[in-house]
Structure 1
Amino acid sequence: MLTVGVDLAAEAARTAVAWLDWQAGRARLDRVVVRADDDLVVEAVLGAGKAGLDCPLGWPDRFVDFVSAHRAGHVRVPEGLAGRVWRRDLALRVTDQVVHEQTGLTPLSVSADRIGHATMRCAGLLAELARRGRTVDRRGGGAVVEVYPAACLKRWELPYWGYKRAADLAALGRLVDRLLEAAPWLDLGGYEQVCRASDDATDAVVCALAARAAALGLVTVPTADQAGAAGTEGWIALPTTPLDRLVTAG
């Protein structure tokens, strides 16, 4: 089985793609590309059994409704609530709030942070995948699943912060060391140094690991009450098992 991880940014300059080949209790990193453009991302997803994207797959439903109401001049502010309270559902999707409840981490707001630029790019990529015949289910049931590397690393008891600064390659190196210790079955091959030099590349590898978890059904899924919002807003699939299950399950 081949899984792909995409650390998606607004532009190719900070986008990385990783390909993991899973065979007989082993996973080998076949390829990593940094500065990945749209064509490469689409082709990678098309060739994968499952792809994990580190990017929101949609905007909060209430934010979309709010913008539509504002355009029409019909915004109504809830009475008796502080501004930050009623704006929370505009800034955070259902899945973002679930991730915070389960991990203590809060994903960047797609409606109130610069990550919205990456989501605009992502929307175009999802449309192209659908045009080319791949099932796109923002709940994670199709070709792609939304993943969150920091939350994955935290659940796997690995370093999950402090490594995404260009000036601190030592922290990135420690993360790679810990990952290889926790997953001795993971072979980074000739791309280990790329991962040690680029946090984008390392995040892409984590996304590919999370895609494997999703393909095996070892991730969180929306409840019946959450499924409607997840279908439009996107759903972050959190691993529900240790790393070793990725090679022993299935």
Structure 2
Amino acid sequence: MITVGVDLAAADERSGLAVVTWSAGRAVVSSLSVGVTDASIVAAVRGSDKAGIDSPLGWPSAFVSFVTTHQSGSVTPPSSGDGAAWRRRLAYRMTDEVVRSTTGLIPMSVSADRIGHAAFRAAGLLALLSPSGAPLSRAGDDVVVEVYPAASLFCWGLTHRGYKRAGLASDLVSALLESAPWLSLGPFETLCRRSHDALDAVVAALAARAAAIGQASRPSPAQLAAATTEGWIALPTGPLADLIRQTRVEDRS
């Protein structure tokens, strides 16, 4: 199995791309780079079994409706005392609220924070990856799944706050390798220790593996309609060791 992780930014130079090759009892980072183009990302995703993209894949349904009605000048203002809750529904997707309740982490708002610039790029990538015109699932059913590295690290019991500050990524790499001795960063270990964009790409590829083998959260039937349009953040549901224990037939080749 091959999984890809993309730490997506609006600009190429801040975007990381990792390719991880899985075999029986072993996972090897076979490629890792920072400063990647859309063409490089699309090529890597097409050559993978599952790709985790660290970017929102959609916008809150309430926000989409708000923008549409605002354009025509027919916005219905919130009732007295409901303004904060009304704005929250515009700012956060259902999956963001699920992540908040599960991990305590608050994802950036795709409609009110700068991460929206990365989401514009992600929308373009999804279009490039579906040339037939049939849209890719934003709920993670196709090759692409939305991931959130910090939340994945939380689920695996690793440092998930502050590691992007200068010098701290190296400490997280050491902890990751201790927790996952079956993971080989090879010649890319130095890059991971130096660049949190590269490290997040590797974590995204590990989270993609969790989604691929059924070890990540899925939307419930009641959540599926929203996840299909807004996107769904796949959270690992088991320990890191499960990524290698759940050996698939293709891993044995």
TM-score clears 0.5:
yes
Question: 1:109 and 2:106 equivalent?
Answer: no
Change (3 A) 1:114 1:66: same
How far has the Cα of 1:162 moved from its partner? 1.1
Q: Could you say which residue in structure 2 is the equivalent of 1:87?
A: 87
Q: Could you say which residue in structure 1 is the equivalent of 2:190?
A: 193
Question: Could you state the TM-score of these two structures normalised by the residue count of structure 2?
Answer: 0.95
Question: 1:60 and 2:60 equivalent?
Answer: yes
How far has the Cα of 1:135 moved from its partner? 6.6
Q: Is the 8 A contact 2:126 2:135 kept in 1?
A: no
Q: Deviations over 1:102-129 (max 9, x none)?
A: 0000100000000001100110110010
Question: 1:213 and 2:249 equivalent?
Answer: no
Secondary structure of the corresponding residue to residue 129 of structure 2: helix
Equivalent residues in 2 for 1:217-236, closer than 5 Å: 217-236=214-233
Q: Deviations over 1:52-98 (max 9, x none)?
A: 00000000000000000100111012213342211101000000000
Give the Cα separation in 2 of the matches to 1:182 and 1:135. Answer: 37
**AA matched with 2:91:** A
Gapped runs of 5+ residues in structure 2?
248-253
Percent identity at matched positions? Answer: 55
Question: Runs ≥4 in structure 1, deviation > 4 angstroms?
Answer: 132-135
Q: Could you say which residue in structure 2 is the equivalent of 1:148?
A: 148
Greater CA drift, 70-79 or 125-134:
125-134
Gapped runs of 5+ residues in structure 1?
none
Question: 1:202 and 2:199 equivalent?
Answer: yes
Give the Cα separation in 2 of the matches to 1:235 and 1:183. Answer: 26
Q: Could you say which residue in structure 2 is the equivalent of 1:123?
A: 123
Give the Cα separation in 1 of the matches to 2:62 and 2:162. Answer: 32
Q: Could you say which residue in structure 1 is the equivalent of 2:179?
A: 182
Q: State how many pairs are aligned.
A: 247
**AA matched with 1:176:** V
Q: Is the 8 A contact 1:140 1:146 kept in 2?
A: yes
**AA matched with 2:101:** E
Q: Could you say which residue in structure 1 is the equivalent of 2:169?
A: 172
Give the Cα separation in 2 of the matches to 1:197 and 1:84. Answer: 40
Question: Could you state the TM-score of these two structures normalised by the residue count of structure 1?
Answer: 0.96
Q: Could you say which residue in structure 2 is the equivalent of 1:46?
A: 46
Give the Cα separation in 2 of the matches to 1:76 and 1:133. Answer: 35
Task: Report the aligned-residue RMSD.
Answer: 1.2
Q: Is the 8 A contact 1:135 1:143 kept in 2?
A: no
Q: Is the 8 A contact 2:13 2:35 kept in 1?
A: yes
**AA matched with 2:45:** V
Give the Cα separation in 2 of the matches to 1:187 and 1:240. Answer: 22
How far has the Cα of 1:33 moved from its partner? 1.1
Give the Cα separation in 2 of the matches to 1:23 and 1:132. Answer: 32
